[in-house]
Amino acid sequence: MAKLRVGFIGTGKMPEKRGAMGYAMAYDHAEAYRKLASCEMVACADIVAENAAAFAAKFGIPRTYLSYHEMLEKEKPDVVSICTWPKLHAEMAIACAQAGVRLCHCEKPMDLTYGGSRRMLQVAAQYGMHLNFNHQRRYGRPFRETKRLLDAGEIGALVRMEANTWDLYDGGTHWVDMLNYFNNESPPRWVIGQIDARRQVLVFGAPVESQSLCFVKYANGVFGLIVTGYESARALGAAFRLHGTSGVIEIAWDPKPGPLVRYWKQGVTDWIPVDCGNEHLHGPGYIDRAIADAVDCLLTGRECELCARHAMNATEIIFACYESSRRRARIDCPLDIDDNPLQAMIAKGEVPFAPSS
């Protein structure tokens, strides 16, 4: 069988230092494809020629482009990884679908606006393209073990989920996605929230709040509470806490001094530690597993855990929280907006958004 032709949109600059929290995501994607016998990397595109050349040299990629449109037209890739800023994701993913790409593996968040996110999903479905988003923590052992405990009924029926992270839109897209994963992808019924943006924070060109509170009721009756930013870690005391009818599971930010994952259930007197090997919240190896599964799903016809349908579930909750702050009201889902409420409020001067003094 012929190998899948892989292209990249947005290589970025070669990182000086690599790590689990590094941002040269195309390099992590390429390392994953390089391990797959079913794939060959054939081209990359970046608006900075030197970046594309360095990336191609590192991974033995034969051709580079300044225009991703030209790359799509000339190379006709089967698979494309998009590793650019969120405001470009929708137009690039749509171009991939229209060019006949079979699998688009895009970095998160979906897009800068809710309408752009929705259009990506619709166009991908129209053209039959597998569209995935790199919520790679679904493949991490701490999260898999937590899901195993939930599915086994170790804490009874799930009642409420709590999560803490640095912001809702960028880092929070992983955390909201994990809550949805734990809750079997149930869609939100309503969302109510509030944000504070008095400290100017931009992540990959996108404005994010400096503090937020997001309360969700899911269609299956489970509740979710996400707190972000200023003093949120102190308030919650864990990255995740899942409450059941007969127990609790906690995922810590740091495995020291105790276990990363632990749970308590009725009938025991102390917390039970969960073995997660050497894996933590950010890796290692999660992107390798994510891309390997995405490619296998393409070849076998399965829907990937990273599919746009699941990503849209998290995206709706995030933008619904921002919309709740804008309307000063609870938002009943499905969400009916096209823009980015936080960006719109900042543009109108309705929320402070100034550099720190």
Q: In terms of CATH architecture, what is 4-136+285-304?
A: 3-Layer(aba) Sandwich (3.40)
Residue 21 scores a pLDDT above 70: no
Per-residue pLDDT band for 238 (boundaries 50, 70, 90) equals very high
Over residues 330-348, the mean pLDDT reads 97
Q: Bin 156: left if φ > 0, else alpha if -120 < ψ < 50, else beta.
A: left
Residue 164 near residue 231, CB atoms below 8 Å: no
Helical segments of 2-113, H only? 25-34, 49-59, 68-75, 89-98
Residue 323 scores a pLDDT above 90: yes
Q: Tens digit of pLDDT for each residue in 172-205?
A: 999 999 999 999 999 999 999 999 999 888 899 8
CATH of domain 138-281+305-357: 3.30.360.10
Q: Taking the model in full, what pTM does it have?
A: 0.95
User: What pLDDT shows up at residue 47?
Assistant: 98
Sequence ranges of the domains in the chain? 4-136+285-304, 138-281+305-357
Higher pLDDT, 283 or 81: 81
**DSSP 3-state assignment of 103?**
strand
